[in-house]
Amino acid sequence: MFSNGGPKQLGRREFLGALAVGGASAAGQAAPPLATSLPEPMARPGGADLAYGLPAPEEAHVERALSMTAGFPVWRTPLQRQRGVITPSGLHFAVHHNGVPEIDPRRHVLLLHGLVNQPLRFDLERLLRYPMVSRVHFLECAGNSAANALSPTALDQTLGEIAGEVSCSEWTGVPLSYLLREAGLKDTAQWVVAEGADGGSHSRSLPLKALLEDGMVALFQNGERLRPSQGYPMRLFMPGWEGNVNIKWLHRLEVTDAPAYTKDESGLYTQVLADGGIERFAFHMEVKSVITHPSGQQRLHEPHGFYEISGLAWSGRGRIARVDVSVDGGRSWTPAQLHAPVLDRAFTRFTLPWQWRGHRAELMSRATDEQGRTQPLRSEWKRRYAMHSFNHYNAVQAWRVQVDGRVENLYA
C-alpha cells in the first residue's frame, strides 16, 4: 500500500534525501561545510540578456513532438514536462490541415455576413478597439489520444506523444456576441459557418446560441498576440469544444439557418458508434485526466523513495470536481488534492504523495467534473464506439511502473 496523509507523514529519512549542511546526507555522503566555496558565477560579471526571452539552453530539448497524422502535421505538447496549468505559448499543440498561412495583419479582414441586418467587416485595428475579456481555457483536438483508441496494444511512448494534443492558455479577445449583435440577427438565424484564411479553407458550422454565450474572437494568448501557429492574427475560440471548431486565421463568419455540412464536419468529425449510428456535432470535449509525473518513458531512480504523483485534469463541461488516483491498477482509489485555481473548462492540477516500494505498480487517474461525468475505462470506451473510431477518446490513462523504475503506457 502507499502512504496518503500528505508529506508530513513521510519520515525524515524518506523525505527526498536532501544534502544536509555540515553533516551527512540521508544517502551518507559528507556535505561540504557552508560557504567555503562560493558559486563560481559569483566571481565574474553576468552575461547579456535577450530582447525576447528564451528558455535556458539546457532546456532546449523541451519541445513539441511532431508526427504526421492523416496526412497533416501534428505538433504535440510535452505534457510530461509541464508543471502548472498554463502551457507556454511556444509549446502549445498545433494541428494545421494545410500548413501555416502567411497573413499580413494590416490586410487581414474578418467578414460577418449572412442572416444579419448589416454585414460588417472588421480589420485588426478596429477589432482591437472593442472591449475584451480574458479566460483561461484548455484546447483539445477531437483526435487527441487516437493511438490509445486504435492501437490493439499500448504503444510505449511519452505522455506528450500519446495525449499531447491538448494545451491550456489564457485567451483574450472580443466576445462574439458584441459583433453578432452589432450586425443584428435575423429571426431565422440559427447557425454560424466559420472559415479560416488558410489554403483548403478549414470551416465548421456552430450553433448560434452557443456562440452568443461563449464564443470569442481571440487576439491574445498568454498576454501576447496569438502565435502564427495558433491562428495569428485572430481565431475563433469556443471554450470546452473540440479543437477543430476553433477556426484559426478566422476571416469569415456566415450566419445561416442550418449547418453547412462542410467537408471537415461531414468527413473528419463525425463519429461512428458501435451500433452503426453516427454522432455528429459532438462539440464538447468530455472529462479527462492524465498523470504527468510519473508518466511514459520516465524512470523512477530510487526504490523505496517518495514520489509526488502529479497530473492535469480538464472537462469541456465545467470545473473539475475531483480526481481519484489508483496505484494498484484500479483496485483502490484515493482522492487526489486539487490545486487552486480550479477553473471552468481549464487544466486543473492534482497531486498525491506516494511512497514507491520498488514493486511493479499500476498508476491511474480518474477525473469527475461538476456535472458528475467521469472517465470510462478503455474497455468501456471501446464498447461505445465502432472499431476504427478514435475521436473524443477520454478513457482512463494508466501507467505501469516496472521494478527497474521504468514507466510504460498501459491499457486498463
Ligand X SMILES: Nc1nc2c(c(=O)[nH]1)N[C@H]1C(S)=C(S)[C@@H](COP(=O)(O)O)O[C@H]1N2
Residues that bind Mo ion (CB under 5 A): 95, 141, 243-244
**Residue 317 and residue 286 in contact, taking contact as beta carbons nearer than 8 Å:** yes
Question: Cα–Cα distance between 157 and 55 in angstroms, integer?
Answer: 25
- The reply on whether position 246 binds ligand X by CB under 6 A is yes
Interface positions, 89-118, toward ligand X (CB under 6 A): 92-97
* Nearer of residues 174 and 338 to ligand X, judged by Cβ: 174
Among 198, 265, 324, 369, binds ligand X (CB under 6 A): 198
* Nearer of residues 114 and 239 to Mo ion, judged by Cβ: 239
Residue 172, beta-bridge partner list: 134, 220
Which span sits near ligand X by CB under 6 A: 125-133, 244-252, 254-262, 382-390?
244-252
* Nearer of residues 85 and 364 to ligand X, judged by Cβ: 85
* Nearer of residues 94 and 309 to ligand X, judged by Cβ: 94
* Nearer of residues 243 and 294 to ligand X, judged by Cβ: 243
- The reply on whether position 169 binds ligand X by CB under 6 A is no
- The reply on whether position 230 binds ligand X by CB under 6 A is yes
* Nearer of residues 141 and 321 to Mo ion, judged by Cβ: 141
Which span sits near ligand X by CB under 6 A: 17-25, 81-89, 194-202, 313-321?
194-202
Q: How many residues bind ligand X (CB under 6 A)?
A: 19
Q: Which residue of the chain is nearest ligand X when measured via CB?
A: 196
- The reply on whether position 400 binds ligand X by CB under 6 A is no
Among 82, 148, 244, 365, binds ligand X (CB under 6 A): 244
Among 160, 196, 215, 294, binds ligand X (CB under 6 A): 196
251 touches, from ligand X, Mo ion, none (C-beta below 5 to 8 Å by class): none
* Nearer of residues 95 and 189 to Mo ion, judged by Cβ: 95
Site residues (vs ligand X, CB under 6 A): 92-97, 139, 141, 196, 198, 202, 229-230, 243-244, 246-249
